[in-house]
Each structure stands twice: as structure tokens, then as C-alpha cells.
């Protein structure tokens, strides 16, 4: 079925800087751009049963409210631009499921969202989101939503879903709509933002020149497929990271970032470590609630050449992260031109350094029982599990470390070039990371924090 929408007219705008960065990645990955979709499920209200007509009206009102959801990306005079439609129809898939299962269709909705995300978006012709209603009898029980990452980042996706829930329950959203993607793109044309971009470009060029040529040594020929993802699930690492964070009064993300840098430094033999991380770019008032793709990469340079203890290194890792956050808002085309002029690589080939991404939903949440004694913490390491996961023919990074949620534990995933990180070596890397965290939790860990690669078995 379809639902109408009618919003205020908008003249459109160039792509935002965040969109341009992602567009580069989409071009590099080709058909694999389906990976750039965000899958979400919203449970429909149960106290007041929701019918299909009311759910369709809610979807139409949501698209009416947010110009970003009425935006296509099209070439205009040789330039990609955001083209905002004032009115139109939005398709909505209706999926009857008979009687509602015990979970009220939640698992079916998750699978439906995965199915909807499997086909790449046609950004020139298609709206940048897909909706499906799961209907048990006459009642809508779940709404599956797939959002194109070219239009929204993770924060914007949550804001869109918040509004959808209000529309499903109350039929309206009392607050005015926040800035949309085209608004952000126009703001980026201002002199203030151009100067901000120039500062970011200088920071990146200076930082890149400090990085070593390689992050990890090669250990043999690459496997086929070349890239493998492996996951370590560890309650010990999670408890240790939280314990250190509370004791040193930093975030657990800072603790984990420092630990990753420590293992990389030990394995590479280089005193300086380069780490890329994703920055949400929402610190300014204009951007906090924007429905746009704002997040961009930041670059950290972590220098451990003076061999500090783990606790002593945490403030400098935090400072390096802050510098990365300050300089993560830039026009990627300007960044590419500056790198080319400096004879430095940018968005080409496989990046030789590490990408760190903490994608936990609640990274600083506390868990009962964290105050464990040393014997309990070390004993928890025996319950750690390791499992190979996805295999990829192409990938952007020599290695990517992800911090993910896991039931009662912390998930540590590494996706690596198998010439450097085949599964057996990836397991040693992740277990070295876990061991470092546990050692640092039990007392201030002196240098070296971790053993070299040839001594980690």
C-alpha cells in the first residue's frame, strides 16, 4: 500500500560532508552498499490496538515532518545534490502473519527488516527508507524500518524512531521539526564552517605524517576470501574495562581504545599508533537533533614512546580522542585534495592502520557484581569464547576493532586482512587485549602492557 505526504517546499542543497564521505565508501563497495542500511523495529502500542489505516497515517506524517525522508540524491548539472520533494506517496509493505506469536512478532519483524535491507537503495529514485507493517488479524503489531545511512546516522535514526513512536501512540509530535539534511548542507557553505574544515585538514595532514608505515606485521599469504571477522565474547573484559573506567574516572571507551593501542604498539614495535574512529559531530547546538548523516571519521595519534603505565597513558589517549573529535568535521573532497598535494594516501586501497568503533548501545551502563576479586576476574577468562564470523572479499581497513554488546559480557570483534590477521592470529590478538584489560584492572600496569606478537601464544 502507500501513504501520502505533503511537506513544505525546499530548494534542495549539495550533499552534506558526512554524505559525501559515505558516498565515497559506497562507490568503493559497489553492490555491497546494502551494508550501509540501518535496520530497526518499532513495537506498535498494545494498550490501544493500532489498525493499518492509522499506522499508514503515522508513516505519512513522519515523512511529512522530516524533509530528509523526502529527499533523493540526484545528479544536477554534474553535481550530486539533495532533491527534496514537497509531496508524494510513500510505499509501505503490509505483511499479514495470522495470530500473533508469543513475542508479538518481534523476531519476524527483525527478519523482515533484514530482508528489506538486502537490496541496495536506489538513491536517485527511491525514498531513503523502507517501511513494513506486520499485521496480526486486524492489529498492527510491529513496524520494520530500514533507513539509508546516506540520509541518517545512528543518532538521527533514533530521533526518527522516537517521532514514529509518538505518531503511532498519540498521532502527533508536539515539538517543531529539527534541522534537516538540506539545512545542514547549506550551513556547511558558511565561512565559519569552511574555516573549520581548513583546521581539520591541517590536523589530518600533520597527524598522518606522524604515523608508521604499517600497523601489524605480515604473517603469511592472504586467505581467500581475504578478510575475516572474528568475535571474542568476554565477561572478564567487560568487568575489567568498567572497573578501570570507574577507578581512573574516564569512559570505558577510552579504556578500550588505550588497550587496543597498547596491543598494536607491542605487536608492531612502533612507538606511535594511528587509530581512526567514528565521531558523531553533534556537539554544536545546530546539529544535536538534526535529521542528517553527520558522523565522520576522526584520526587519533597515540604516542607511547615514553613507555608510560597504563593508567598514566589514559589521559593522553583521552586527549588524542578529543583532538580527533574536534577535527572530524570536514569536506572529504578538500581532504582528498590536500592529501594528494602532500603525497599521502586518502580513501584509496586498504588503509594500513586500525579503525576502532565502539557500537555498544549503552557503553557506560553498570552491571551488578563488578566489584570482583582478582581470582574471580581471572577465572572469568576461562569462560571467554572465540568464534570466526563473516568472510569478505574486500574491506577498507587492514584491521577494524569493534566493541559490541553481548549478553552478560563484552564483545570484541576484529575484522582483518588475513595476511596480517588470519583467524588464529586474530584470536591471539583479541585474547591479548582481554589479558591486558584484566591485568590493568588488578593494578596499575607498567610498561610493557602486552607481549610482542611472537610471544603471545
**The pLDDT of residue 402:** 97
Strand 272-279 with 296-303, pairing = antiparallel
Cell of 425: 592470529
Confidence of residue 178 (pLDDT cuts 50, 70, 90): very high
Q: Residue 457 above 50 pLDDT?
A: no
Phi, psi of 188 (to 5 degrees): -65, -15
Longest distance between any two alpha carbons in the chain, whole Å: 68
Q: Are 310 and 262 in contact (CB under 8 A)?
A: yes
For residue 207, the tally of other CB atoms under 10 A from its CB is: 18
Of the CA atoms within 13 Å of residue 152, those in its CB half-sphere come to: 27
**The pLDDT of residue 368:** 43
Q: For 400-414, how does the pLDDT look when each residue is reduced to its tens digit (9 = 90+)?
A: 999 999 999 999 999
Q: Are 41 and 140 in contact (CB under 8 A)?
A: no
For residue 2, the tally of other CB atoms under 10 A from its CB is: 12
Phi-psi bin for 193: left (phi > 0), alpha (psi -120 to 50), beta? alpha
**Which residue carries 513544505 as its cell?**
8
Q: For 221-236, how does the pLDDT look when each residue is reduced to its tens digit (9 = 90+)?
A: 999 999 999 999 999 9
Closest CA to 420 of 279, 215, 261, 277: 215
The residues facing 301 across adjacent strands are 274
**The pLDDT of residue 70:** 97
Q: How far apart are CA 402 and CA 398, in angstroms?
A: 13
**The pLDDT of residue 369:** 43
Q: Are 372 and 239 in contact (CB under 8 A)?
A: yes
Distances (CA, A) of 280 to 96, 153, 208, 290, 335: 38, 8, 21, 11, 18
Closest CA to 353 of 228, 215, 257: 215
The residues facing 72 across adjacent strands are 83
**Which residue carries 505483511 as its cell?**
95
Domains and CATH numbers, the chain: 2-187 (3.30.559.10), 211-455 (3.30.559.30)
Judged by average pLDDT, the poorest of 32-36, 69-73, 417-421 is: 32-36
Residue predicted with more confidence, 355 or 27: 355
Strand 351-358 with 2-6, pairing = unpaired
Distances (CA, A) of 117 to 13, 130, 161, 252, 338: 26, 8, 17, 32, 35
Q: Are 173 and 167 in contact (CB under 8 A)?
A: yes
Closest CA to 137 of 44, 211, 67, 208: 44
Of the CA atoms within 13 Å of residue 30, those in its CB half-sphere come to: 4
Return the ∠ at Cα 47 (arms to 44 and 50), rounded to 5°. 45
Q: How far apart are CA 439 and CA 83, in angstroms?
A: 54
Q: Are 67 and 107 in contact (CB under 8 A)?
A: no
Q: Residue 29 above 80 pLDDT?
A: no
Q: For 241-289, how does the pLDDT look when each residue is reduced to its tens digit (9 = 90+)?
A: 999 999 999 999 999 999 999 999 999 999 999 999 999 999 887 899 9
Cell of 453: 606478537
**The pLDDT of residue 366:** 52
Amino acid at each position: 500500500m502507500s501513504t501520502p505526504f505533503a511537506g513544505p517546499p525546499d530548494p534542495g542543497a549539495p550533499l552534506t560532508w558526512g554524505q559525501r564521505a559515505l558516498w565515497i565508501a559506497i562507490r568503493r563497495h559497489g553492490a555491497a552498499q546494502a551494508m550501509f542500511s540501518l535496520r530497526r523495529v518499532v513495537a506498535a502500542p498494545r494498550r490501544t490496538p493500532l489498525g493499518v489505516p492509522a499506522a499508514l497515517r503515522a508513516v505519512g506524517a513522519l515523512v511529512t515532518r522530516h524533509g530528509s525522508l523526502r529527499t533523493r540524491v540526484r545528479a544536477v548539472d554534474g553535481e550530486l545534490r539533495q532533491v527534496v520533494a514537497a509531496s508524494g506517496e510513500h510505499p509501505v509493505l503490509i505483511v499479514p502473519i495470522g495470530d500473533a506469536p508469543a513475542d508479538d512478532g518481534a523476531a519476524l519483524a527483525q527478519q523482515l527488516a533484514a530482508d528489506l535491507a538486502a537490496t541496495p537503495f536506489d538513491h536517485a529514485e527511491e525514498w531513503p527508507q523502507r517501511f513494513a507493517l506486520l499485521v496480526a488479524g486486524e492489529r498492527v503489531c510491529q513496524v520494520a524500518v530500514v533507513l539509508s545511512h546516506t540520509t541518517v546516522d545512528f543518532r538521527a535514526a533514533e530521533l526518527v524512531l522516537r517521532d514514529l513512536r509518538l505518531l503511532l501512540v498519540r498521532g502527533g509530535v508536539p515539538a517543531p521539526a529539527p534541522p534537516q539534511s538540506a539545512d545542514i548542507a547549506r550551513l556547511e557553505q558558511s565561512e565559519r564552517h569552511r574555516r573549520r574544515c581548513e583546521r581539520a585538514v591541517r590536523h589530518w595532514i600533520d597527524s598522518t605524517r606522524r604515523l608508521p608505515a604499517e600497523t601489524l606485521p605480515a604473517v603469511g599469504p592472504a586467505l581467500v576470501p581475504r578478510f575475516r571477522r572474528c568475535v571474542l565474547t568476554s565477561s572478564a573484559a567487560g568487568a575489567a574495562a568498567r572497573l578501570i573506567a570507574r577507578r581512573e574516572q574516564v569512559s570505558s571507551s577510552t579504556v578500550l581504545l588505550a588497550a587496543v593501542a597498547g596491543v598494536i604498539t607491542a605487536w608492531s614495535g612502533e612507538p606511535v599508533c594511528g587509530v581512526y574512529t567514528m565521531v558523531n559531530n553533534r556537539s554544536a547546538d545546530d546539529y544535536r537533533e538534526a535529521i542528517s548523516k553527520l558522523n565522520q571519521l576522526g584520526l587519533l595519534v597515540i604516542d607511547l614512546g615514553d613507555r608510560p603505565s597504563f593508567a598514566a597513558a589514559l589521559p593522553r589517549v583521552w586527549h588524542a580522542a578529543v583532538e580527533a573529535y574536534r577535527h572530524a568535521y570536514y569536506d572529504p573532497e578538500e581532504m582528498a585534495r590536500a592529501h594528494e598535494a602532500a603525497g599521502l594516501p586518502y580513501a584509496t586501497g586498504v588503509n594500513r592502520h586500525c579503525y576502532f568503533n565502539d557500537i555498544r548501545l549503552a557503553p557506560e551502563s553498570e552491571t551488578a557484581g563488578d566489584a570482583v576479586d582478582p581470582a574471580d576476574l581471572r577465572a572469568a577468562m576461562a569462560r571467554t569464547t572465540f568464534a570466526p564470523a563473516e568472510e569478505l572479499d574486500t574491506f577498507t581497513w587492514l584491521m577494524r576493532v569493534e566493541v559490541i554488546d553481548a549478553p552478560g559480557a563484552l564483545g570484541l570483534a576484529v575484522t582483518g586482512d588475513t595476511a596480517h590477521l588470519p583467524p588464529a592470529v586474530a584470536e591471539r590478538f583479541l585474547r591479548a587485549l582481554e589479558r591486558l584489560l584484566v591485568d590493568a584492572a588488578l593494578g596499575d600496569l607498567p610498561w610493557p602492557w602486552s607481549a610482542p606478537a611472537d610471544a603471545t601464544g
